[in-house]
Structure 1
Amino acid sequence: MTRISLFLCAVFCTACIGVKYTPDWTSLDSRPLPKWYDEAKFGIFIHWGVFSVPGFGSEWFWWNWKGAHKANYIAYMVKNYPPGFTYADFAPDFHAQFFDPEQWADVFLASGAKYVVLTSKHHEGFTNWGSPNSWNWNSVDNGPHRDLVADLGDAVRKRSLHYGLYSTLFEWFNPLYMSDKQSGFKTQEFVVNKVMPELHNLVNRYKPELIWSDGDWEAPDTYWNSTEFLAWLYNDSPVKDVVVTNDRWGAGCSCKHGGYYNCADKFTPGQPPKHKWEKCTSVDNYSWGYRRNMMLRELMDLPSIIKDMVYTVSLGGNYLLNVGPTAEGMIPPVFEERLRSIGDWMRINGEAIYATEPWKVQTENATVPVWYTSKGSTVYAIFTANPEKAIFQLSTPITTDKTVVTLLGNPEPLKWAPLHISGLILLLPDLPCTPAQAWTIKLDGVN
């Protein structure tokens, strides 16, 4: 074989194999984001674990009780549990006896969400699958005695929803982690014997399309071996072509490295970030996990959720909305109501959300708040309050003689007239009074 033939063969083989990512951020950050994620726009987050049993304060119950020694958590335990009761004693009461993954998946589908992210392991270390590296501190050996990760994944995928898994890196009171931490993270016993085996186990067994990493901030990515894991994930894992990752892979990585950026919980930028991002937030304003004592006034109402989603998508982000199920495996009815109501709105207005891109401007000072998204040559103006008058003005779009204006959910074109340089005045029909208090104007043929 000639040298030229060998060279052409090498080029051909490289093209067949595809790009190989090396375990460094320059290489890993160059990986294109799988298309499905940006098009999905809306997902459901689920915080569920042993912390759902006490149902008090937040999912950080164990740390607030035994780590931060907060007085209200100590008082709660003194009042409601016998002396000597440990956090591990909560696990047998994590029954999940009413957990019906098919019913959950039906609710998520009805919400209009395109992906679902389940907490496979939170900072307490309890795994919602039978992790071989978490003996007796997992949902198969203890509590529900079932594989929650597998059960929900099967139900979600039946409905063609993408399935992702949240997994924390650190565990508050794991002896291996505490020892590594005491060494100044010069040892890696926890990473080698717990973190990496579990991440590989999750990926190989359940093939998640999204890895939502967390619990990274106490140590650098070099301690976590993050780049080595991501290189394997992108090159050789069973989900290498479809998996999406976030940015929580070590202290200082947030908003700098990873597939897309979370930056911080409930991150709300003032302008479109230059990198794909996601806002994660919770229906319960005070907790991600279930709280027994939550009150209606402490929850996001439907107009607030829709406004928050529209703002996020108009700035190019995805919206990940969290609910916290009970220890019995029920999605509280108030959460289900919120999710189904979002779906009612999305069935009419989802065209202005899914697979859209930010427009040249995101908002304008109209008589009511207006946010823009776009899709090809179509622009969507979403107004998040009920106009008080039938005459409505948009100042930014530049119309042409081919411009067509409609209201999503109403097949008849709207009557409109161009303004002098840019913008238009349009006549709105009688708008229905809906709980979402948000409507979308579709503009075809504008600049």
Structure 2
Amino acid sequence: MRSHIFTLLMLVFLIGLQGKSSAQKHPLSLKKQSSTSTIKQVKNGPNGNSQLAVSSSDNVDRQLFQKTEPNWASLKAHPYPQWFRDAKLGIFIHWSISSVPAWSGKEQYAEWFLRGILTGDSGRIFFQDKTFGKNWKYEDYAPLMKGELFDAKQWADLFKRAGARYVVLVSKHHDGFCLWPSKYAKGWNAVDVGPKRDIVGELTKAVKEDGLRMGLYYSLPEWNNPLYRWGFDKPDKVNQYVEQHMIPQFKELISTYKPSLIFSDGEWDHPASTWHAAELISWYYNNVAPDGIVNDRWGSGSEGGFITLEYSSGLTNSDRPWAEVRGLGRSFGLNRNEPIENYMTPEDLVHFFVKAVANGGGIILNVGPYADGQIPLLQQERLLQLGEWLKINGEAIYGSTANKLTIEDKDVELRRVDSTVNFDWVRNSPGKPISEDDFTGEWTGFIQPNYSEAFLFEGNADDGMRVWIDNKLVIDKWDHDGGQSESNVMEQKKGVSKTGGIKLEAYKKYSIHISYQEKKQNASIFFWWSSRNQRKEIVPQQSLFTDKKLTIGNGLNAVYRSKATRLCYTRNDDNLYAITLDWPDDSLVLHCEKPTTGSKVTLLGRKGTLPWKYENGKMIINTRSIKFSEIPCNWAWTFKISNN
């Protein structure tokens, strides 16, 4: 009997060794396998050893999170974990080789620095040549990313104090540099060069010790991989890259660090089937994290995952969990070229966050450390300010659900003089208090040519524009250009151009009126002129006047208009929370359903109840009794209506 048991144990041991040996020699290749064998391979870890595939959570309801199959019907049926719906706030971290130059245009992503060098971006190339020398190469930055001030414990403590419930670290961005010792990126990872530390491992340990969930961002393609240079090589070359590099590296990363969340990116040039997305997600759920969650960036044809909006004004209605992802400034990676005006104030941040939560979502707020591993102090301050606000108002946020009425808006406008009509806002607002989406612009004044001849005007807008000169409609381009990729922000095509002509007299001022509309995602508008003697150029400031009496051009009168949120509602434990973004001096008026008799109203962070009444379909809370010294926080205030 004992000999049989011994033989059986030896057989199991030898099978395990065989699995390890074969996986080391042959990285996972899904292309040559049937769907049945694909599922079998996907169940195993990167070394062929299923023992590596353990759950990211010790207390998982196995009946709730049942086994998935590698198809979208099965994956869509996989429930979204409650921990993610309740968390509301995550912290994104973009730290890589691009943190050494830490420079791009004021509206550009600094982590796209390599892409700019490869595509001939004059601004980035000039900066690199001037700062590091004309013979400098991107790989020369790697030793300079020393990370001497990186402290995983300090980072994790900061994120916890900010009120975050999970963290998402960029383990590998599009430049292919890995923050863990990947055997598929020898010499191009943070252990072999630069910090010479396992950043993913250290931060994962620190984050989990602080009681937070750990997530990992992973770029599917790479700009500079010899197997497939994304954006340069023929599309069909991607297959060998996926099979020989991406899949085994992805599984190496995920099985080693077992994240609760996977944030995939870079998917937009290929369908989900090319990335073998369904197989990888199924493998992740079945073997690594049954209560994990993935995002929605897996290529066309993919279904499910939490929705990731990027630098937008958010969603208003979705049956899927969603998170707005953005930086505190206008870049994810640190951009030292950004002016202070690009950064969110604490008021901006709190309002943005509260609005997302009220509409049923959350945010993943990015920080971009220096090459030395220190998070900029201004970014740290913003996180701590948000955390202080959450200490008072957290019960209206964490675990909350959307109310029937989610927000109440007000009309806002921004008036200024614009020197020219030449704007690429990408996915940002033209200025406070205007929204990032769904805004309009109007430019009025006078235009003065230098030649008497027929002029051709050209306008390019995302989404629409119209131009009247001397009360004549010259350009009519009002139609929306259609949907754009949510994830490919930096290389979205600009709007469609349209031209129109009119004959003008030299040095005569003509009235001009330009209308503009922005719907969703990227926003831009450009206005050129040309003629037989006038070279094509953006109509310059010296030819534009706010007033006909002026002799020196100063630009055009500009008015931007949009909606801005003034009130947000959430629900939690049968309580209604009204979060006002403007302090109500005398009373707070809510357009909500009538509370039950005996309902109590309190201001979170203040002792005592407040009087209220309900009339004409409005709840009116009397706030006159609140002393200045009793106001518990800044930027937004939460009134709790409890049905007791």
CA contact 2:604–2:637 (8 Å) conserved in 1: yes
Q: How does 1:131-142 map to 2 (within 5 A)?
A: 131-142=182-193
Q: How does 1:417-428 map to 2 (within 5 A)?
A: 417-428=613-624
- Structure scoring higher RCO (CA < 8 A, sep ≥ 6) equals 1
Q: What is the CA–CA distance in structure 2 between the aligned matches of 1:374 and 1:267, rounded to whole Å?
A: 24
Q: What is the CA–CA distance in structure 2 between the aligned matches of 1:298 and 1:186, rounded to whole Å?
A: 39
- Is residue 161 of structure 2 the alignment partner of residue 110 of structure 1? yes
Larger mean CA deviation between 174-183 and 131-140 belongs to: 174-183
- Is residue 65 of structure 2 the alignment partner of residue 65 of structure 1? no
* SS of residue paired to 2:403: coil
Give unmatched runs, 5+ long, in structure 1: 1-14
Determine what percentage of the aligned residue pairs are the same residue.
Answer: 36
Q: 1:209 to 1:64 in 2, by over 3 A?
A: same
- Is residue 173 of structure 2 the alignment partner of residue 122 of structure 1? yes
Q: What's 2:377 paired with? A: 333
CA contact 1:180–1:187 (8 Å) conserved in 2: no
- Is residue 579 of structure 2 the alignment partner of residue 382 of structure 1? yes
Q: What is the CA–CA distance in structure 2 between the aligned matches of 1:418 and 1:424, rounded to whole Å?
A: 6
CA contact 1:133–1:193 (8 Å) conserved in 2: no
Q: What's 1:314 paired with? A: 358
Q: What is the CA–CA distance in structure 2 between the aligned matches of 1:153 and 1:179, rounded to whole Å?
A: 29
Deviations 1:36-90 (A, max 9, x none): 1000000110000000001101100000112x21111111122112232110000
* SS of residue paired to 1:410: coil
Question: How far 1:385 moved relative to its partner?
Answer: 1.8
Deviations 1:150-171 (A, max 9, x none): 1111111111011101110010
Q: 1:230 to 1:363 in 2, by over 3 A?
A: same
- Is residue 71 of structure 2 the alignment partner of residue 24 of structure 1? yes
- Is residue 315 of structure 2 the alignment partner of residue 260 of structure 1? no
- Is residue 636 of structure 2 the alignment partner of residue 438 of structure 1? yes
* Residue among 584, 607, 616 paired with 1:411: 607
CA contact 1:302–1:435 (8 Å) conserved in 2: no
Larger mean CA deviation between 54-63 and 366-375 belongs to: 366-375
Question: How far 1:424 moved relative to its partner?
Answer: 2.9
CA contact 1:384–1:439 (8 Å) conserved in 2: yes
CA contact 1:171–1:177 (8 Å) conserved in 2: yes
Deviations 1:91-125 (A, max 9, x none): 00010001011111111111011111101000000
- Is residue 202 of structure 2 the alignment partner of residue 156 of structure 1? no
Q: What is the CA–CA distance in structure 1 between the aligned matches of 2:215 and 2:64, rounded to whole Å?
A: 26
* Residue among 558, 567, 570 paired with 1:370: 567
Q: 1:354 to 1:142 in 2, by over 3 A?
A: same
CA contact 1:306–1:436 (8 Å) conserved in 2: no
Counterpart residue type for residue 396 of structure 1: C
Greater per-residue helix proportion: 1
* Residue among 67, 78, 102 paired with 1:55: 102
Q: How does 1:78-97 map to 2 (within 5 A)?
A: 78-97=129-148
Question: How far 1:274 moved relative to its partner?
Answer: 2.4
Q: What's 1:243 paired with? A: 292
Question: How far 1:390 moved relative to its partner?
Answer: 2.1
* SS of residue paired to 1:59: helix
Question: How far 1:434 moved relative to its partner?
Answer: 7.8
Deviations 1:189-237 (A, max 9, x none): 11112111121111111110000000111111111111111111112x2
CA contact 2:178–2:189 (8 Å) conserved in 1: yes
Counterpart residue type for residue 376 of structure 1: D
After TM superposition, the score normalised by the length of structure 2 is: 0.63
CA contact 1:124–1:173 (8 Å) conserved in 2: yes
Give unmatched runs, 5+ long, in structure 2: 1-61, 105-109, 412-564
Counterpart residue type for residue 96 of structure 1: G
Counterpart residue type for residue 246 of structure 1: N
- Is residue 448 of structure 2 the alignment partner of residue 402 of structure 1? no
Deviations 1:408-432 (A, max 9, x none): 0012111222224452332351356
Greater per-residue strand proportion: 2
Q: 1:106 to 1:179 in 2, by over 3 A?
A: closer
Q: What is the CA–CA distance in structure 1 between the aligned matches of 2:150 and 2:296, rounded to whole Å?
A: 31
Q: 1:126 to 1:366 in 2, by over 3 A?
A: closer
Larger mean CA deviation between 205-214 and 420-429 belongs to: 420-429
Q: What is the CA–CA distance in structure 2 between the aligned matches of 1:73 and 1:366, rounded to whole Å?
A: 40
Q: What is the CA–CA distance in structure 1 between the aligned matches of 2:71 and 2:232, rounded to whole Å?
A: 24
Deviations 1:156-189 (A, max 9, x none): 1111011101110010121112389744336611
Q: What is the CA–CA distance in structure 1 between the aligned matches of 2:632 and 2:376, rounded to whole Å?
A: 23
* SS of residue paired to 1:359: strand
Counterpart residue type for residue 417 of structure 1: K
Q: How many residues are aligned here? A: 423
Q: 1:124 to 1:78 in 2, by over 3 A?
A: same
* Residue among 194, 197, 209 paired with 2:245: 194
- Is residue 236 of structure 2 the alignment partner of residue 185 of structure 1? yes
Which of these two proteins has the greater Rg computed from alpha carbons?
2
* SS of residue paired to 1:165: strand
CA contact 1:314–1:362 (8 Å) conserved in 2: yes
* SS of residue paired to 2:74: helix
After TM superposition, the score normalised by the length of structure 1 is: 0.90
CA contact 1:180–1:188 (8 Å) conserved in 2: no
